[in-house]
Structure 1
Amino acid sequence: MPDDPDTQSILIMAETASISTRRVASGRVTISTRTEEIDRILPAELASVEVSVVQVPVDRKINSVPEVVAEGDLTIIPVVEERLVVMRELYLREEVHVRRVERTETVDVAATIRRQTVQIDRIPADLTPTSNKDDHHDL
Protein backbone atom coordinates (compact mmCIF):
# COMPACT_ATOMS: atom_id res chain seq x y z
CA MET A 1 0.00 0.00 0.00
CA PRO A 2 1.64 3.10 -1.16
CA ASP A 3 -0.17 5.50 1.21
CA ASP A 4 0.82 3.57 4.29
CA PRO A 5 3.44 5.55 6.29
CA ASP A 6 5.14 2.36 7.38
CA THR A 7 5.85 1.40 3.80
CA GLN A 8 9.36 2.03 2.50
CA SER A 9 10.35 2.20 -1.13
CA ILE A 10 13.75 1.49 -2.65
CA LEU A 11 14.94 3.12 -5.88
CA ILE A 12 16.22 0.39 -8.13
CA MET A 13 17.06 2.31 -11.33
CA ALA A 14 17.19 5.99 -12.45
CA GLU A 15 17.57 7.41 -15.97
CA THR A 16 19.62 10.51 -16.78
CA ALA A 17 19.85 12.43 -20.04
CA SER A 18 22.67 14.60 -21.42
CA ILE A 19 22.90 16.75 -24.56
CA SER A 20 26.11 17.68 -26.35
CA THR A 21 26.82 19.77 -29.44
CA ARG A 22 29.64 19.83 -31.96
CA ARG A 23 30.59 22.28 -34.69
CA VAL A 24 30.06 21.15 -38.24
CA ALA A 25 31.30 23.30 -41.15
CA SER A 26 28.47 23.70 -43.63
CA GLY A 27 30.40 26.01 -45.95
CA ARG A 28 32.65 29.10 -46.14
CA VAL A 29 32.18 32.67 -47.24
CA THR A 30 34.84 34.56 -49.20
CA ILE A 31 34.64 38.36 -49.25
CA SER A 32 36.91 40.31 -51.54
CA THR A 33 37.20 44.02 -52.23
CA ARG A 34 38.59 45.83 -55.24
CA THR A 35 39.41 49.54 -55.52
CA GLU A 36 38.67 51.20 -58.82
CA GLU A 37 39.94 54.56 -60.04
CA ILE A 38 37.48 56.45 -62.16
CA ASP A 39 38.51 59.50 -64.19
CA ARG A 40 35.77 62.10 -64.28
CA ILE A 41 35.43 65.60 -65.66
CA LEU A 42 33.98 67.81 -62.92
CA PRO A 43 32.56 71.32 -63.50
CA ALA A 44 34.17 74.20 -61.61
CA GLU A 45 33.27 77.89 -61.66
CA LEU A 46 36.04 80.43 -62.06
CA ALA A 47 35.36 84.10 -61.34
CA SER A 48 37.39 87.01 -62.65
CA VAL A 49 37.14 90.77 -62.45
CA GLU A 50 38.01 92.91 -65.43
CA VAL A 51 38.74 96.59 -64.84
CA SER A 52 38.41 99.30 -67.46
CA VAL A 53 39.93 102.72 -66.82
CA VAL A 54 38.67 105.81 -68.66
CA GLN A 55 40.04 109.33 -68.14
CA VAL A 56 37.20 111.87 -68.44
CA PRO A 57 38.34 115.52 -69.01
CA VAL A 58 36.36 117.97 -66.82
CA ASP A 59 38.32 121.29 -66.57
CA ARG A 60 35.93 122.89 -64.05
CA LYS A 61 36.73 125.34 -61.24
CA ILE A 62 36.11 123.91 -57.77
CA ASN A 63 36.44 125.28 -54.24
CA SER A 64 37.76 122.13 -52.47
CA VAL A 65 39.20 118.75 -53.37
CA PRO A 66 36.33 116.32 -54.08
CA GLU A 67 36.11 112.94 -52.31
CA VAL A 68 36.53 109.63 -54.10
CA VAL A 69 33.02 108.47 -55.03
CA ALA A 70 31.83 104.86 -55.50
CA GLU A 71 28.53 104.37 -57.35
CA GLY A 72 27.73 100.67 -57.74
CA ASP A 73 30.54 99.14 -59.81
CA LEU A 74 31.92 102.59 -60.80
CA THR A 75 34.58 104.40 -58.74
CA ILE A 76 35.34 108.06 -59.58
CA ILE A 77 38.76 109.35 -58.50
CA PRO A 78 39.18 113.15 -58.84
CA VAL A 79 42.46 114.55 -60.21
CA VAL A 80 43.05 118.23 -59.31
CA GLU A 81 45.61 120.86 -60.09
CA GLU A 82 46.30 124.34 -58.90
CA ARG A 83 46.46 127.08 -61.49
CA LEU A 84 48.10 130.40 -60.81
CA VAL A 85 46.07 133.29 -61.89
CA VAL A 86 45.97 136.57 -60.06
CA MET A 87 44.68 134.41 -57.29
CA ARG A 88 44.94 130.72 -56.76
CA GLU A 89 41.89 128.69 -57.92
CA LEU A 90 41.22 125.01 -57.79
CA TYR A 91 40.10 123.26 -60.98
CA LEU A 92 38.88 119.73 -61.42
CA ARG A 93 41.10 118.72 -64.29
CA GLU A 94 39.74 115.25 -64.91
CA GLU A 95 38.09 112.26 -63.27
CA VAL A 96 39.31 108.73 -63.60
CA HIS A 97 36.35 106.36 -63.89
CA VAL A 98 37.12 102.79 -62.90
CA ARG A 99 34.42 100.22 -63.70
CA ARG A 100 34.57 96.62 -62.48
CA VAL A 101 33.03 93.92 -64.65
CA GLU A 102 32.71 90.49 -63.04
CA ARG A 103 32.54 87.38 -65.20
CA THR A 104 31.83 83.80 -64.14
CA GLU A 105 32.97 80.95 -66.31
CA THR A 106 32.38 77.20 -65.97
CA VAL A 107 35.36 75.05 -66.83
CA ASP A 108 35.92 71.29 -66.78
CA VAL A 109 38.53 70.02 -64.32
CA ALA A 110 39.88 66.47 -64.60
CA ALA A 111 39.78 64.54 -61.31
CA THR A 112 40.33 60.92 -60.26
CA ILE A 113 37.96 59.39 -57.73
CA ARG A 114 38.24 55.99 -56.05
CA ARG A 115 35.43 53.55 -55.36
CA GLN A 116 35.49 50.09 -53.76
CA THR A 117 33.27 47.21 -54.74
CA VAL A 118 32.71 44.01 -52.78
CA GLN A 119 32.06 40.48 -54.04
CA ILE A 120 30.78 37.76 -51.68
CA ASP A 121 31.10 34.10 -52.77
CA ARG A 122 29.62 31.21 -50.75
CA ILE A 123 31.74 28.04 -50.99
CA PRO A 124 30.36 24.64 -49.85
CA ALA A 125 32.33 22.90 -47.08
CA ASP A 126 33.70 20.17 -49.37
CA LEU A 127 35.40 22.65 -51.79
CA THR A 128 38.70 24.49 -51.24
CA PRO A 129 38.42 28.28 -51.73
CA THR A 130 40.50 29.89 -54.44
CA SER A 131 41.26 33.59 -54.78
CA ASN A 132 42.24 35.97 -57.56
CA LYS A 133 41.14 39.25 -55.95
CA ASP A 134 43.10 42.29 -54.71
CA ASP A 135 42.15 41.99 -51.00
CA HIS A 136 40.94 38.56 -49.76
CA HIS A 137 39.30 37.72 -46.43
CA ASP A 138 38.09 34.20 -45.49
CA LEU A 139 35.40 33.96 -42.85
Structure 2
Amino acid sequence: MVGGSEMVLPLVEETARIDVRAVETGRVRVSTRTETTEQILRESLRSDGVGVTRVAINRTLAEGEAPPKVRTEDGVTVIPVLEEILVVEKRLVLREEVHIRSTTSNDEVEVPVTLRTQRAVVEHVSPDGHVAEQPSLPEETTS
Protein backbone atom coordinates (compact mmCIF):
# COMPACT_ATOMS: atom_id res chain seq x y z
CA MET A 1 0.00 0.00 0.00
CA VAL A 2 1.24 3.34 -0.93
CA GLY A 3 -0.33 6.36 0.73
CA GLY A 4 -3.32 4.46 1.95
CA SER A 5 -4.67 3.54 -1.40
CA GLU A 6 -4.64 0.11 -2.75
CA MET A 7 -3.07 -0.68 -5.97
CA VAL A 8 -4.04 -3.67 -8.05
CA LEU A 9 -1.42 -5.20 -10.23
CA PRO A 10 -2.76 -7.30 -13.05
CA LEU A 11 -0.99 -10.65 -13.39
CA VAL A 12 -0.69 -12.22 -16.80
CA GLU A 13 0.02 -15.87 -17.40
CA GLU A 14 0.71 -17.47 -20.76
CA THR A 15 -0.13 -21.09 -21.47
CA ALA A 16 0.94 -23.30 -24.34
CA ARG A 17 -1.23 -25.91 -26.00
CA ILE A 18 -0.20 -28.55 -28.49
CA ASP A 19 -2.72 -30.04 -30.91
CA VAL A 20 -1.99 -33.08 -33.04
CA ARG A 21 -3.56 -33.51 -36.43
CA ALA A 22 -2.98 -36.15 -39.07
CA VAL A 23 -1.40 -34.95 -42.30
CA GLU A 24 -1.15 -37.40 -45.20
CA THR A 25 2.29 -37.21 -46.73
CA GLY A 26 1.89 -40.20 -49.00
CA ARG A 27 0.81 -43.83 -49.17
CA VAL A 28 2.51 -47.19 -49.57
CA ARG A 29 1.30 -49.88 -51.95
CA VAL A 30 2.71 -53.44 -51.61
CA SER A 31 2.15 -56.19 -54.19
CA THR A 32 3.83 -59.49 -54.96
CA ARG A 33 5.02 -60.86 -58.25
CA THR A 34 5.62 -64.56 -58.89
CA GLU A 35 8.39 -65.57 -61.24
CA THR A 36 8.83 -69.12 -62.55
CA THR A 37 11.94 -70.84 -63.80
CA GLU A 38 12.17 -74.22 -65.50
CA GLN A 39 14.80 -76.61 -64.23
CA ILE A 40 15.69 -80.23 -64.96
CA LEU A 41 16.34 -82.36 -61.87
CA ARG A 42 18.73 -85.24 -62.44
CA GLU A 43 19.04 -88.23 -60.15
CA SER A 44 20.46 -91.71 -60.39
CA LEU A 45 17.96 -94.42 -59.50
CA ARG A 46 19.16 -97.86 -58.45
CA SER A 47 17.04 -100.94 -58.84
CA ASP A 48 17.84 -104.44 -57.68
CA GLY A 49 16.51 -107.53 -59.39
CA VAL A 50 16.95 -111.26 -59.16
CA GLY A 51 17.08 -113.99 -61.78
CA VAL A 52 15.84 -117.47 -60.95
CA THR A 53 17.23 -120.50 -62.77
CA ARG A 54 16.04 -124.04 -62.09
CA VAL A 55 18.77 -126.66 -62.45
CA ALA A 56 17.52 -130.26 -62.70
CA ILE A 57 19.62 -132.68 -60.59
CA ASN A 58 17.50 -135.87 -60.17
CA ARG A 59 20.09 -137.62 -58.02
CA THR A 60 19.11 -140.06 -55.31
CA LEU A 61 20.95 -139.45 -52.08
CA ALA A 62 22.95 -142.36 -50.70
CA GLU A 63 21.79 -144.10 -47.54
CA GLY A 64 22.73 -141.88 -44.58
CA GLU A 65 23.86 -138.99 -46.80
CA ALA A 66 22.93 -135.63 -45.25
CA PRO A 67 20.54 -133.48 -47.29
CA PRO A 68 22.26 -130.50 -48.94
CA LYS A 69 21.89 -127.14 -47.18
CA VAL A 70 21.15 -123.71 -48.63
CA ARG A 71 24.48 -122.24 -49.74
CA THR A 72 26.05 -119.40 -51.69
CA GLU A 73 28.45 -120.05 -54.59
CA ASP A 74 30.04 -117.12 -56.51
CA GLY A 75 27.29 -114.71 -55.43
CA VAL A 76 24.51 -117.18 -56.33
CA THR A 77 22.26 -118.53 -53.56
CA VAL A 78 21.54 -122.23 -54.12
CA ILE A 79 18.39 -123.67 -52.52
CA PRO A 80 18.10 -127.47 -52.73
CA VAL A 81 14.59 -128.84 -53.43
CA LEU A 82 14.10 -132.34 -51.99
CA GLU A 83 11.38 -134.90 -52.55
CA GLU A 84 10.69 -138.14 -50.82
CA ILE A 85 9.55 -140.91 -53.11
CA LEU A 86 8.15 -144.25 -52.10
CA VAL A 87 9.77 -147.25 -53.64
CA VAL A 88 10.16 -150.47 -51.76
CA GLU A 89 12.25 -148.32 -49.55
CA LYS A 90 12.20 -144.64 -48.89
CA ARG A 91 14.99 -142.65 -50.53
CA LEU A 92 15.80 -138.98 -50.56
CA VAL A 93 16.12 -137.64 -54.10
CA LEU A 94 17.64 -134.25 -54.86
CA ARG A 95 15.12 -133.13 -57.47
CA GLU A 96 16.50 -129.74 -58.40
CA GLU A 97 18.32 -126.66 -57.18
CA VAL A 98 17.02 -123.14 -57.48
CA HIS A 99 19.81 -120.69 -58.26
CA ILE A 100 19.10 -117.02 -57.43
CA ARG A 101 21.44 -114.37 -58.84
CA SER A 102 21.18 -110.72 -57.68
CA THR A 103 21.61 -107.93 -60.23
CA THR A 104 21.84 -104.16 -59.78
CA SER A 105 21.22 -101.47 -62.38
CA ASN A 106 21.47 -97.68 -62.30
CA ASP A 107 19.22 -95.48 -64.43
CA GLU A 108 19.74 -91.74 -64.91
CA VAL A 109 16.43 -89.85 -64.86
CA GLU A 110 15.59 -86.25 -65.73
CA VAL A 111 12.41 -84.68 -64.37
CA PRO A 112 11.34 -81.18 -65.48
CA VAL A 113 10.05 -79.06 -62.59
CA THR A 114 8.73 -75.50 -62.31
CA LEU A 115 10.08 -73.44 -59.43
CA ARG A 116 8.26 -70.27 -58.30
CA THR A 117 9.81 -67.27 -56.57
CA GLN A 118 7.78 -64.39 -55.11
CA ARG A 119 9.17 -60.88 -54.84
CA ALA A 120 7.52 -58.01 -52.92
CA VAL A 121 7.16 -54.73 -54.82
CA VAL A 122 6.77 -51.69 -52.54
CA GLU A 123 5.62 -48.42 -54.13
CA HIS A 124 5.38 -45.05 -52.36
CA VAL A 125 2.50 -42.89 -53.60
CA SER A 126 2.87 -39.19 -52.81
CA PRO A 127 -0.17 -36.98 -52.11
CA ASP A 128 0.02 -35.63 -55.66
CA GLY A 129 -0.26 -39.20 -57.02
CA HIS A 130 3.39 -39.64 -58.01
CA VAL A 131 4.45 -43.32 -57.62
CA ALA A 132 8.03 -44.20 -56.66
CA GLU A 133 9.08 -47.84 -56.44
CA GLN A 134 11.31 -48.67 -53.48
CA PRO A 135 14.36 -50.68 -54.51
CA SER A 136 13.97 -54.32 -53.54
CA LEU A 137 16.36 -56.01 -51.14
CA PRO A 138 19.27 -57.90 -52.67
CA GLU A 139 18.59 -61.57 -53.26
CA GLU A 140 20.11 -64.06 -50.86
CA THR A 141 22.74 -66.34 -52.28
CA THR A 142 23.72 -69.75 -51.01
CA SER A 143 27.04 -71.36 -51.53
TM-score, normalised with respect to structure 1: 0.63
Cα distance in 2 for partners of 1:127, 1:29 equals 11
Aligned to 1:106: 108
Where do 5+ consecutive residues of structure 2 fail to align?
2-7, 132-143
State the one-letter code of the partner of 1:102.
Answer: T
Check conservation: 2:60, 2:91, Cα contact below 8 A. Answer: no
State the one-letter code of the partner of 2:27.
Answer: R
Q: For residues 43-91 of structure 1, what are the alpha-carbon distances to aligned partners after superposition, in whole Å with 9 as ceiling and x for unaligned?
A: 34433222222334543616465555578x6432212244666633212
Cα distance in 2 for partners of 1:80, 1:31 equals 80
Check conservation: 1:64, 1:90, Cα contact below 8 A. Answer: no
Cα RMSD for the two superposed structures: 3.4
Alignment of 1:8-23 (within 5 A): 12-23=11-22
Where do 5+ consecutive residues of structure 1 fail to align?
2-8, 130-139
Change (3 A) 1:11 1:68: farther
Greater RCO, 1 or 2 (C-alpha within 8 Å, sep 6+): 1
State the one-letter code of the partner of 1:103.
Answer: S
Cα distance in 1 for partners of 2:111, 2:26 equals 48
Residue 61 in 1 paired to residue 66 in 2? no
**Identical-pair percentage:** 40
Cα distance in 1 for partners of 2:18, 2:47 equals 81
| Displacement of 1:116 | 1.2
User: Is the strand fraction higher in 1 or 2?
Assistant: 1
1:19 is paired with a residue whose SS is coil
State the one-letter code of the partner of 1:94.
Answer: E
Change (3 A) 1:11 1:104: farther
State the one-letter code of the partner of 1:111.
Answer: V
TM-score, normalised with respect to structure 2: 0.62
Cα distance in 2 for partners of 1:61, 1:10 equals 142
